[in-house]
């Protein structure tokens, strides 16, 4: 019987089965950032342990970095202490660091693929929930906590429960104005935020196969929001084209050998799945969250649901979300006035995201009551966007053009909501307080939808403002 990619990668990286029923799994690549690593390094130091594979460990700074003025020392004393701590730790343990002054700095899940570190068939770990992003390349990538960061630094291994595999097939064409962000929001809406618990999600089907690597990363990024342990897409010609020539990808003959091996890691045609779900792309509309988890969403043409429409387990959550958001059941989501528009985060801050958003805002101006910012995912994205003149389009439209970092995705930096502000956000979490204000409200949507909302000053259907590709003004 054939095997899934998950089974192949898992088997190849298994060190041994533990008495607990867990597997001791070797981790091929460990990505580190400034927030979840200081305590891990302290634990390592106090036990006199070295980093076992510094050459499989790469660090960057993203969560706490200011995006307005990135000069050192940072004005925020705590942020400065965190970055200094990472610098000391990387120097002491011989770990490469893509620091704030590096052309390669950026959000950890943006720079890994950009540099060619993220490759098919790898096991990858990082102290951030959205490590599943790297599954877009056919890697098996785990978000881990601080004590597991210590474990990987010390042993390059993790003790993990086995997971089942659910194949999620998306078939058919997406309509203009519908993006990969809408696809993953729809998957989470249908299967629930806990629907993936105990599963790896394998995304498949012709809709997924036609997606660029950047679109695939958006899909895999939010696997964790659907409860899945990991999410991945089988590597194919699109994957290999993306990787060829990247600074840290194999070169020449080594690349050809790697490509042959990467190809062999894809799920076999006769692989068995523990579950399968099929979605039709044509049924997916631009999607917006209205509540306090990423599964609480509606198509932009729909109305906010009534608690009675959900089964019992979910109706209490709807009531709580309505109270927090100060929304009413039956109210259309379109027309919801916004205060802030944020284009950024490891979900949607790559060049194609910025191009699409710029296409929407070009020749328009942000509504007077809206604060709008674009935060590229990395220095490379920022420079590439500037070479294309995207920064000028955004600035002329009234957006702020910022330096690379996590910014308002989780607001561990100066970019934060204030009070009850409502933010149209291209990020991945709309939990209470996620964007810095305990009472702030987040509406997740695609970058194009954020751009349209910034201009209109309210949630609006991007399909109404979208012009055909290639149209000039
Ligand atoms: S952008 Fe948000 S989700 Fe992504 S790495 Fe940063 S804080 Fe985590």
> CATH assignment of 5-265, given 3.30.70.1150, 3.30.499.10, 3.40.190.10, 3.30.70.270?
3.30.499.10
φ and ψ at residue 210, rounded to 5 degrees: -80, -10
Return the residue whose CA atom lies nearest to atom 3 of ligand 1: 130
**Where do you find CATH 3.30.499.10 in the chain?**
5-265, 287-465
Name, in order, each residue with C-beta under 8 angstroms of 463's C-beta and a sequence gap of 6 or more.
175, 176, 177, 286
Ligand 1 mean position to 301 CA, how many Å? 29
Return the residue whose CA atom lies nearest to atom 6 of ligand 1: 406
Q: How far is CA 463 from CA 64, 127, 133, 451, in A?
A: 35, 37, 27, 12
pTM for this structure? 0.97
φ and ψ at residue 167, rounded to 5 degrees: -90, 130
**Is 287-465 assigned to CATH 3.30.750.200?**
no
User: Does residue 193 contact residue 215 with C-beta atoms inside 8 Å?
Assistant: no
Helix H, strand E, coil C: the string for 306-319 is: CHHHCCHHHHHHHH
Return the residue whose CA atom lies nearest to atom 2 of ligand 1: 409
Return the residue whose CA atom lies nearest to atom 4 of ligand 1: 346
Return the residue whose CA atom lies nearest to atom 8 of ligand 1: 128
Return the residue whose CA atom lies nearest to atom 1 of ligand 1: 345
Ligand 1 mean position to 130 CA, how many Å? 7
Please report which helix (H) or strand (E) contains residue 466, including its range: none
Ligand 1 touching residue 339 (CB < 6 A): no
Ligand 1 mean position to 329 CA, how many Å? 31
Pick the atom of ligand 1 nearest to 345's CA.
1
Can you give the pLDDT of all 473 residues of the chain as single tens digits? 899 999 999 999 999 999 999 999 999 999 999 999 999 999 999 999 999 999 999 999 999 999 999 999 999 999 999 999 999 999 999 999 999 999 999 999 999 999 999 999 999 999 999 999 999 999 999 999 999 999 999 999 999 999 999 999 999 999 999 999 999 999 999 999 999 999 999 999 999 999 999 999 999 999 999 999 999 999 999 999 999 999 999 999 999 999 999 999 999 999 999 999 999 999 999 999 999 999 999 999 999 999 988 776 778 899 999 999 999 999 999 999 999 999 999 999 999 999 999 999 999 999 999 999 999 999 999 999 999 999 999 999 999 999 999 999 998 999 999 999 999 999 999 999 999 999 999 999 999 999 999 999 999 999 998 865 544 43
Pick the atom of ligand 1 nearest to 347's CA.
4
> Cα–Cα distance between 428 and 224 in angstroms, integer?
10
Among 128, 348, 374, 403, which residue has the most ligand 1 atoms within 8 Å of its CB, making it the best to mutate? 128
Ligand 1 touching residue 345 (CB < 6 A): yes
φ and ψ at residue 219, rounded to 5 degrees: -60, -55
């Amino acid at each position: 019987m054939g095997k899934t990619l998950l089974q192949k990668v898992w088997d190849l990286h298994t060190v041994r089965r533990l008495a607990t029923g867990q597997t001791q799994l070797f981790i091929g690549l460990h990505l580190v950032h400034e927030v979840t690593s200081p305590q891990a390094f302290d634990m390592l130091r106090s036990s006199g342990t070295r980093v076992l594979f510094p050459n499989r460990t790469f660090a960057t700074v993203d969560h706490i970095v200011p995006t307005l003025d990135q000069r050192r020392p940072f004005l925020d004393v705590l942020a400065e202490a965190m970055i200094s701590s990472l610098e000391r730790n990387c120097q002491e343990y011989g770990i490469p660091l893509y620091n704030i002054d590096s052309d390669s700095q950026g959000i950890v899940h943006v720079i890994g693929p950009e540099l060619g570190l993220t490759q098919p068939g790898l096991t990858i770990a990082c102290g951030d929930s959205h490590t599943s992003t790297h599954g877009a390349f056919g890697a098996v990538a785990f978000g881990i906590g601080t004590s597991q960061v210590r474990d990987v630094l010390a042993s390059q291994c993790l003790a993990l429960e086995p997971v089942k595999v659910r194949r999620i097939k998306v078939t058919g064409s997406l309509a203009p104005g519908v993006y990969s962000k809408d696809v993953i929001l729809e998957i989470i809406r249908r299967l629930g935020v806990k629907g993936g618990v105990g599963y790896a999600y394998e995304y498949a089907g012709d809709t997924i196969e036609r997606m660029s690597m950047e679109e695939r990363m958006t899909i895999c990024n939010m696997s964790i929001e659907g409860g899945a342990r990991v999410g991945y897409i089988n590597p194919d010609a699109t994957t290999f084209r993306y990787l060829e020539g990247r600074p840290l990808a194999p070169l020449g003959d080594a690349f050809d050998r790697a490509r042959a091996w990467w190809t062999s890691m894809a799920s076999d045609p006769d692989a068995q799945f523990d579950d399968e779900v099929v979605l039709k792309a044509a049924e997916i509309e631009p999607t917006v969250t209205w509540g306090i988890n990423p599964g609480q969403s509606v198509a932009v043409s729909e109305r906010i649901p009534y608690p009675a429409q959900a089964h019992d387990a979910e109706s209490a959550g709807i009531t709580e979300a309505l109270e927090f958001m100060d929304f009413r059941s039956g109210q259309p989501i379109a027309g919801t006035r916004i205060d802030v528009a944020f284009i950024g985060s490891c979900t949607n801050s790559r060049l194609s995201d910025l191009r699409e958003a710029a296409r929407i805002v070009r020749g328009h101006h942000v509504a007077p009551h809206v604060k709008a910012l674009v935060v590229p995912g990395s220095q490379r994205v920022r420079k590439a966007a500037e070479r294309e003149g995207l920064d000028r389009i955004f600035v002329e439209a009234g957006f702020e053009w910022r330096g690379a970092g996590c910014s308002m995705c989780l607001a561990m930096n100066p970019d934060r909501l204030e009070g009850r502000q409502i933010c149209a956000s291209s990020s991945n979490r709309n939990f209470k307080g996620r964007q810095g204000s305990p009472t702030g409200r987040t509406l997740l949507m695609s970058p194009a939808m954020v751009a349209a909302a910034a201009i209109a000053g309210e949630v609006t259907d991007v399909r109404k403002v979208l012009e055909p590709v290639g149209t000039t003004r």
